[in-house]
Amino acid sequence: MQSAFSVPRRDLLHVAIIMDGSGRWATRRGLPREAGHRAGAQAVRRVVEAARRLGIGTLTLFAFSGDNWQRAAHEVNHLLRLFEEFLQGEKEHWAAHGTRLSVIGRRDRFPPSLRAAAAAAEAATADNHGMHLRLALDYSGRDAILRAAARLPAGQAATREEFAQLLGEATQGGAAAPDVDLLIRSGGEQRLSDFLLWEIAYAEMVFTDRMWPDFDATDLEAALEEYYRRDRRFGRVPAPVAG
């Protein structure tokens, strides 16, 4: 049902997606996990384009967590190469269509070529004012909060807004992004996996069994429709409807 509170415009919505299921998608087809990750990259292209067409303001995609380093070395190396290829291949398209890219998370553990690809894509899109696309690479919500807290001067308290700004700086994504309105997780799992723990405080959550390589514009639209059916109260009680 529609809330008694105002419904945000789509150009103000922050949608975050935990892109899960690529490895299992491949395994079920008798393919190596790397094939699933490549298929997942195609899904990213589809979803970024769909989100732009739908007028989403901010889209944050969880591509690689701080704990993913524990995976087999050959899979990690493949993912790092895939991220580099993806950033190099998409930056001109994003630049031409008004999308601004930020890469959030640590970069010091990435190879120099990937760090350079991220910086080049950010620079190529820095002046755009359309959708803000944020790719979370080597990202941990807990570590981001710890790094932001460490930036506080000794003995000084911060407002939520000030801490959100510190958090934006701590994730190397620059200015703070708005709080997440809708969190989507593909792949059938129902957990947060250390993703945007501060920013999802009042996010609506949609979990889908769809594996990430199969996720498309129809799935994104369905999640948005579910979001708009939710009654978002933010701790308040809506006023009685007159009449």
Catalytic residues: 20, 68
Give dist(CA 66, CA 69) in Å, integer: 6
**Cα–Cα dist 204/189, whole Å:** 16
DSSP 234: T
Query: How many residues appear in the chain?
Result: 243
Distance CA 95, CA 125 (A): 5
Q: Do the Cβ atoms of 117 and 87 come closer than 8 Å? A: yes
d(CA 209, CA 197): 22
How far is the C-alpha of 146 from the C-alpha of 233, rounded, in Å?
29
H or E segment and range at residue 35: helix 33-54
Contacts of 197 by beta carbon, 8 Å cutoff, 6+ apart: 141, 142, 144, 145
Sheet holding 58-65, edge to edge: 100-104, 132-139, 58-65, 14-18, 182-185, 204-207
Structure tokens at 205: 């959550």
